Amino acid sequence: MSEATTGTMSGAAAPAAAPASRTPILEVRDLRVQFKTPLGTVNAVDGVSYELYEDEIVAVVGESGCGKSATQLAVMQLLQSPPGRIAGGEVVFEGQDLLKFKKNGPEMRKVRGGQIAMIFQEPINSLNPVLTIGDQLVEAYELHCGLKGQTDKQVAIDLLKMVGIPAAEKRVNDYPHQFSGGMCQRVMIAMGLSCSPRILIADEPTTALDVTTQAQMLELMKNLVREMHASLVIVTHNLGVVARYVERIYVMYAGRVVESGSTKDIFGNPRHPYTLGLLKSVPRLDEVQGSRLIPIEGMPPNLIDMPGTCAFLPRCPYAVEQCRTEPWPELTCVGEGHCARCYVNVEERRS
């Protein structure tokens, strides 16, 4: 175990851009999610496809409302319905299409938590205030591993130790309000990983936390998934987190993937104007004092009445005639493992 761990942690074995020879552990194809609202149908996820390979850390980034959470909730079949509905697509996990399983059927329950686990924002709201931390850990463990009433409290203590909570033997009897935000988040991570899932999905796991706690949580998740040879999907707005922790990125805009590639390709050679816009709008600690941010003008589109043309067109500084007359292009390869959904070669236009 320790040998294998060192192997992956060194980073050498981690894939930058996923080679074609490997088979993905999760393959999402043409996923569609809709929400029925009084104003019309929101196409929150509009034909999203992506892959996840074994042992990798991937990020899904994009502005608020672009469909990041809806995508992940659909994969887990956790969408609240109504108003949500999976309107099409496939989610292939270990050779089986999860969307063929009943939402609350035994197969899906086994996958959820046991093989694919998810951690949400706002840890304090995800814990039950009237149950001890230990009881909740045991409950999550039994639920995820399909056991019933035979679990020793020691399991909960070991889980708390795994996520680095000091004096675990004592703290296991505490209630959530006796834990700080950072400690609650550690408990959520322990629950998510209690059954050694193949995939951990962390949806904005750290936005509500201090930078120091955020760094602790991300290090913890990274190290634990590496040890378990699991894959980690981080859903976030924070481009710094992405640059530090992930190997590949999917950039979403208006319910679609607009660019995907290795972290270095996305940052070093962004090919979609939206990606470029995101990168230029964030301040950096190491920037020259007095430099100006360049925000993306305007706002993301209303997902109810989407034009057939590129949804980024109204905000795009690089648009050409073709963008106005032709439909939104497909995701096209622009390099090895690097794809973008754009008619313009931003790289050329910039120089």
Partner 1 sequence: MSRQPADQQEILRLTDLAVHFPVRRGIWQRKMGIVKAVDGVNLTVKRGETLGLVGESGCGKTTIGRTVIRLYKPTSGSVWFEGKDISTLNERELRPVRRRMSLIFQDPSGSLDPRKSAGNIVGAPLRIHHLVKGRKEYSERVEQLFRLVGLDPSMIDRVPHEFSGGQRQRIGIARALACDPSLIICDEPVSALDVSMQAQIMNLLSDLQEGLGGLAYIFIAHDLSVVRHVSDRVAVMYLGRIVELTESAQLYVAPKHPYTQALLAAVPIPDPFVEEAREHAILEGEIPSPLNPPTGCTFHPRCPYCTAACKTQVPELREVADGHYVSCLLA
Ligand X SMILES: Nc1ncnc2c1ncn2[C@@H]1O[C@H](COP(=O)(O)OP(=O)(O)OP(=O)(O)O)[C@@H](O)[C@H]1O
Nearer of residues 226 and 341 to ligand X, judged by Cβ: 341
Check residue 44 for interaction with ligand X (CB under 6 A).
yes
Rg of the chain over Cα atoms, rounded to whole angstroms, equals 21
- Please give the order of strands across the beta sheet that includes 84-93: 40-52, 26-37, 84-93, 96-97
- Measured in residues, the chain has a length of 351
Minimum CB distance to ligand X, residue 145 (Å): 29
CA distance 273 to 263: 16
Out of ligand X, Mg ion, partner 1, none, which partner does residue 303 contact, by CB within 5 to 8 A per kind? ligand X
Query: In the set 229, 284, 349, 350, which binds partner 1 (CB under 8 A)?
Result: 284
Check residue 14 for interaction with partner 1 (CB under 8 A).
no
Minimum CB distance to ligand X, residue 49 (Å): 16
Out of Mg ion, ligand X, partner 1, none, which partner does residue 37 contact, by CB within 5 to 8 A per kind? ligand X
Tell the residue number behind the tokens 């043309």, with chain if given: 309
> Residue 9: CB partners within 8 Å, gap ≥ 6?
223, 226
Helix pair 181-193, 133-145: axis angle to 10 deg: 20
Minimum CB distance to ligand X, residue 68 (Å): 3
Q: Which range in 4-12, 37-45, 127-135, 343-351 contacts ligand X by CB under 6 A?
A: 37-45
Minimum CB distance to partner 1, residue 87 (Å): 26
**Residue ranges in contact with Mg ion by CB under 5 A:** 69
Kindly determine how many residues on this chain lie close enough to bind ligand X according to the rule CB under 6 A.
Answer: 16
- What is the x/- site pattern for ligand X, positions 71-90, by CB under 6 A? ---------x--xx------
Out of partner 1, Mg ion, ligand X, none, which partner does residue 286 contact, by CB within 5 to 8 A per kind? partner 1
Q: Which range in 62-70, 165-173, 218-226, 264-272 contacts ligand X by CB under 6 A?
A: 62-70
Site for partner 1 in 305-334 (CB under 8 A): none
CA distance 277 to 266: 12
> Does residue 249 contact residue 17 with C-beta atoms inside 8 Å?
no
Nearer of residues 34 and 69 to Mg ion, judged by Cβ: 69
Tell the residue number behind the tokens 């004592």, with chain if given: 170
Minimum CB distance to ligand X, residue 214 (Å): 13
> Does residue 254 contact residue 46 with C-beta atoms inside 8 Å?
yes
Check residue 70 for interaction with ligand X (CB under 6 A).
yes
SS3 content of the chain, % helix, strand, coil (to 5): 35, 20, 40
Nearer of residues 66 and 118 to ligand X, judged by Cβ: 66
Q: How does 213-240 read in b/e, with b if 16+ C-beta sit within 10 Å?
A: bbebbbebbbebbbbbebbbbbbbbbbe
Kindly determine how many residues on this chain lie close enough to bind partner 1 according to the rule CB under 8 A.
Answer: 44
- Decide the pairing of beta strands 116-119 and 199-203: parallel
With the C-alpha atoms ordered 191, 251, 341, 308, is the resulting torsion angle positive or negative? positive
List of residues contacting ligand X (CB under 6 A): 35, 37, 42, 44, 62, 64-70, 80, 83-84, 303
List of residues contacting partner 1 (CB under 8 A): 63-64, 180-183, 210-216, 219, 237-245, 263-264, 267-268, 277-279, 281-287, 289, 292-296, 299
